[in-house]
Amino acid sequence: MVSAQKLDAEGFAAAAWTTIVEPGDELAGLLRLTLGSEASLNCLIKRESPRKIADRILATEHCELAVTRFSRLVPTMEDALERWLPRLSKQAVENALKVAAVVDAKFIHPSSDDWPTGLSDLGLGMPAGFWVRGSLERLNPALSIVGSRSATAYGSWVCAEFVSQLAERGFGTVSGGAFGVDAAVHSAAIALDTPNFAVMAGGVDQFYPSSNAELLRNVVAIGAVISELPPGARPTRWRFLQRNRIIAALGRATLVVEAGHRSGAINTANHALTIGRPVGAVPGLINRSTSDGCHRLIRDGLANLVGGASDLFELAGIPVVNDSSVESIGALELRALDALTLRFASQDSIMQKAGLTALELAIALGALEIVGRAERDAQGYWRKPIH
């Protein structure tokens, strides 16, 4: 029998908050910020009055923030308690932890070692915690890539090209696990065996959409599927819109590949702009509805035009590597370089891929190592350096 994750009091309270509130609830965020997850949950358990809870908040250093954000704090708290208290259930948290254990998921919160620090930019909208299937170890650095659920062949090609370029610079990707551009991003990353992360609008126990279940299982194998909602939670329109703020916060920047005029990808871009993340958009054909959103972002000065690798690297804050040295290396070295990836590989596999003899490959790899275009480990395996 699989054992449920053991959490300390603060962690259990943080998990409880994910079962009580809807994503993006800033009043709950204020309460946790001022009192902590455990103490704020105890206010609910003890059925404290809206006035008493408001007084607790106003007695802290966050008094000014509370008044600025919620000018009528007591009535707002009264409404919030009406929403929250019917969902207050220790059993619901325990059940969520049991289901999480069954699907090999775990709960993390701001005190966890692997909590993504970039989420603090969400301010009061920062989630109480995350339910995670997989590992967030290689999340940083990453770029968020979003777009239309009706991706064209062009959009899918752009995703494959850009994910490959990012992978060569040691960047992972974040997207939403949906159809279209999301799926193209995840598929490209899986093919390259590079970390990628999918943010769900429902519980991580049931992948959504179900037809992407195999894709998302592959995401878990080399990255993670993440949700701020507990196992068992179902996706809703509101949860999809709020999910987008998490996608924006987990990446160093957000790239919109294709988007209609009212696409959810535009919502993600707006969340990124709100928290100060750079936004890029890929131009497309003027007769395609999936280009409208990207062109509008560029036209309105909200997004940088991303038309190639150099634009992509600038958006992600990646130093541009001068590849002019390729012109000065010989044919053997170029063939060996083309056969290298970011993963260490044996000389035999590289030799086969490059179509070189053992002696030719040894000469080529030695030359590439001298100019910093190849590196080897203690076992004699080779790869491209991660810049």
Tokens of 115: 């909590």
Distance, first Cα to last Cα, the chain: 44
Confidence of residue 342 (pLDDT cuts 50, 70, 90): confident
Residue 72 in this model has a pLDDT that exceeds 60: yes
Confidence of residue 120 (pLDDT cuts 50, 70, 90): very high
Say which range, 77-91, 120-134, 370-384, has the weakest mean pLDDT: 370-384
**Adjacency order of strands within the sheet including 279-281:** 105-108, 130-134, 224-227, 196-199, 172-175, 142-146, 254-256, 279-281, 304-305
Residue 47 in this model has a pLDDT that exceeds 70: yes
- Determine the pLDDT at residue 177: 95
- Determine the pLDDT at residue 1: 64
Do 164 and 188 meet the contact criterion of CB atoms below 8 Å apart? yes
Of 225, 209, 228, the residue nearest 217 (C-alpha): 225
Confidence of residue 341 (pLDDT cuts 50, 70, 90): confident
- Determine the pLDDT at residue 329: 76
Question: What mean pLDDT is predicted for residues 367-371?
Answer: 88
**2-6 long-range contacts, Cβ below 8 Å, gap at least 24?**
2/101, 2/102, 3/101, 4/94, 4/97, 4/98, 4/100, 4/101, 5/97, 5/100, 5/101, 5/106, 5/107
Rounded CA-CA distance 220/218 in Å is 5
Tokens of 25: 């609830």
Rounded CA-CA distance 81/288 in Å is 47
Query: What does residue 345 show for φ and ψ, rounded to 5 degrees?
Result: -135, 155
Query: What does residue 161 show for φ and ψ, rounded to 5 degrees?
Result: -65, -50
Do 365 and 339 meet the contact criterion of CB atoms below 8 Å apart? no
Tokens of 122: 């969400």
Do 129 and 108 meet the contact criterion of CB atoms below 8 Å apart? yes
pTM: 0.84
Q: What is the pLDDT of residues 258-267, one digit of tens each?
A: 998 888 899 9
Q: What is the pLDDT of residues 227-275, one digit of tens each?
A: 999 999 999 999 999 999 999 999 999 999 999 888 889 999 999 999 9
Of 206, 205, 186, the residue nearest 195 (C-alpha): 186
Rounded CA-CA distance 273/279 in Å is 7
Within 10 angstroms of residue 49's Cβ, the number of other Cβ atoms is: 14
Q: What is the pLDDT of residues 294-334, one digit of tens each?
A: 999 999 999 999 999 899 999 999 876 555 555 567 888 88
Strand pairing category for 254-256 and 224-227:
unpaired
- Determine the pLDDT at residue 262: 80
- Tell me how far the alpha carbon of residue 277 is from its chain's centroid: 13
- Determine the pLDDT at residue 323: 53
Query: What does residue 324 show for φ and ψ, rounded to 5 degrees?
Result: -65, -20
Q: Which residue has the tokens 């928290």?
A: 275
Tokens of 305: 């035009």
Domains and CATH numbers, the chain: 9-101 (no CATH), 135-316 (3.40.50.450), 323-383 (1.10.10.10)
- Determine the pLDDT at residue 319: 78
- Determine the pLDDT at residue 387: 60
Of 130, 187, 129, 195, the residue nearest 167 (C-alpha): 195
Question: What mean pLDDT is predicted for residues 55-77?
Answer: 94
**What is the pLDDT of the chain when averaged over all its residues?**
93
